[in-house]
Amino acid sequence: MKRRKLLMIPGPIEFEPSVLRAMGAQTTSHVAADFIEIFGSSLEMMRKVFLAGSGQPFIVSGSGTLAMEIAIANLVEPGDRALVLVTGYFGDRFAEIIERYGAEVDRIKAPLGYSVELEDIERKLKSNRYKLVTVTQVDTSTGIAVDVRHLGNLAHKYGAMVVLDGVCSVAGEELRQEEWNIDLVLTASQKAISVPPGLALLMAGPRAIDAWKFRKTPVLNYYADFTNWLPVMEAYEARKPSYFATPAINLVGALNESLKLILDEGMDARFTRHRLLRDGMQDAIKALGLKQVPVRRDFTATTLSAIYYPDGIDGQKLLAKINSEGIIFAGGLHPEIKNRYFRIGHMGPFSPGEIIYAISAMESALVECGYKFDVGIGLTAAERTFINSHH
């Protein structure tokens, strides 16, 4: 009987033992040769994970929200105009950060449960000149994934850059930054990158770096300013010491180990595995007769599922019962439906086995809460999906 519970929330997630061991290594100096090597190779591996060969990676101590702020602080000037695509809570957060830096914001707000449509985006891009378009590839509050593969080309056609919030997508959801012409991608360590919380990670493409370089006004946030960070990143990659602010040494060690594991699996294999986990979970949810926040299968993220509580079932009681089965799911986050749904994270090192375990715990808790269904129907649906994937 294991004493610890399986953490299946949309981040932080379960971490590989070798990542936790790397994090627990003795702390060294941030200018020691061995740490410079770890930092430099982490920057190089990030390009392969983001699929951004000509990108400039940044590793900064902080959260995903800091990564959002770093992106906006460097790219936005007072009087600029930004188009924010909103599919949940974090799209609105992007808009608030941009407004804080003195830009005008227009939003395209998808109805709850829907993604944004390219035609609506193009109509807006035609009507105004925007410096940038921001998009949340996977909004953690709704489980909505936006298909971003054509967004870069569309925005560039109208002279706008694309800034992508990949906090809940990078290294899980398919993302090919360079091929898809996305100018800046940001994420945080604690989701599909599979490292404990505390690192803000960014990949700035050439257009984003140019936009920062040719600003007319200084960056308004001292800590976020690329001017302070770029020389440090360039130095570490050249295997030379440098200093602006002390890096999170142990977290960078953990990041280095996790990036190696991600690249050992291979990006295509990783995207495929996340799609399979999503499909198994989706098929189980459907078989159980449960409704989800995303209204269509092609809007659902591969990294998490957002599921409404069945009618007449006490959500808190259901989550508590699942918890007593040894698994932690997350409650709702979106303000409009906060108490009506729950979320299951299935990103990072998960396998079909953990999905089966999660569905089993969910079925058991649903029975105890009085929900009527054919016991085992969700498990059977997921198992069928996983078995068929081998044929």
User: pLDDT digits over 179-196, tens only?
Assistant: 999 999 999 999 999 999
Domain that holds residue 109: 17-265
CATH number at residue 58: 3.40.640.10
Q: Are residues 108 and 211 in the same domain?
A: yes
Q: Mapping DSSP to helix (H, G, I), strand (E, B) and coil, where does residue 77 land?
A: coil
Q: Of the candidates 363, 325, 357, 331, which has an alpha carbon nearest to the alpha carbon of residue 344?
A: 331
Residue 104 scores a pLDDT above 80: yes
Q: What is the mean pLDDT of the chain?
A: 97
Q: Are residues 105 and 205 in the same domain?
A: yes
Q: Rounded distance, CA 71 to CA 203, Å?
A: 10
| pLDDT band, very low/low/confident/very high, at 2 (cuts 50, 70, 90) | low
Residue 83 scores a pLDDT above 90: yes
Tokens standing for residue 169: 């997508």
Burial class (CB in 10 A: 0-12, 13-18, 19+), 267: middle
Please list, residue by residue across 234-259, b when 16 or more beta carbons sit within 10 angstroms of its beta carbon and e when fewer do: ebbbeeeebebeebbbbbbbbbbbbb
Q: What is the structure's pLDDT at 108?
A: 98
Q: Rounded distance, CA 291 to CA 341, Å?
A: 9
Q: Of the candidates 350, 340, 357, which has an alpha carbon nearest to the alpha carbon of residue 306?
A: 340
Q: Mapping DSSP to helix (H, G, I), strand (E, B) and coil, where does residue 215 land?
A: coil
Residue 1 scores a pLDDT above 50: no
Query: Count of CB atoms within 10 A of residue 380's CB?
Result: 14
- CB 297, CB 307: distance < 8 Å: no
Whole-prediction pTM value? 0.98
Q: How far apart are the first and last CA of the chain?
A: 34
CATH number at residue 361: 3.90.1150.10
Residue 390 scores a pLDDT above 90: no
Q: Of the candidates 174, 154, 172, 177, which has an alpha carbon nearest to the alpha carbon of residue 54?
A: 177
The predicted model gives 304-332 an average pLDDT of 97
Beta-ladder partners of 330: 343
Beta-ladder partners of 85: 108
Residue 178 scores a pLDDT above 70: yes
Q: Mapping DSSP to helix (H, G, I), strand (E, B) and coil, where does residue 138 land?
A: strand
Q: What is the structure's pLDDT at 265?
A: 98
Q: Are residues 357 and 369 in the same domain?
A: yes
Q: Are residues 302 and 383 in the same domain?
A: yes
- Show which of 207, 236, 265 is a domain's final residue: 265
The predicted model gives 268-293 an average pLDDT of 98
User: pLDDT digits over 128-151, tens only?
Assistant: 999 999 999 999 999 999 999 999
Q: What is the structure's pLDDT at 81?
A: 98
Burial class (CB in 10 A: 0-12, 13-18, 19+), 218: exposed
Q: Are residues 210 and 254 in the same domain?
A: yes
Q: What is the structure's pLDDT at 3?
A: 75
In a domain, 115, yes or no: yes
The number of domains in the chain is 2
Q: Of the candidates 82, 108, 295, which has an alpha carbon nearest to the alpha carbon of residue 183?
A: 82
Residue 266 scores a pLDDT above 80: yes
Q: What is the structure's pLDDT at 391?
A: 76
- Show which of 265, 291, 317 is a domain's final residue: 265
Strands 56-61, 199-204: pairing is: antiparallel
- Per DSSP (E only), the strands in the chain are 6-7, 56-61, 81-86, 104-109, 132-136, 138-139, 144-145, 161-165, 184-188, 199-204, 304-308, 327-328, 330-331, 341-345
Residue 96 scores a pLDDT above 50: yes
% of the chain exceeding 70 in pLDDT = 99
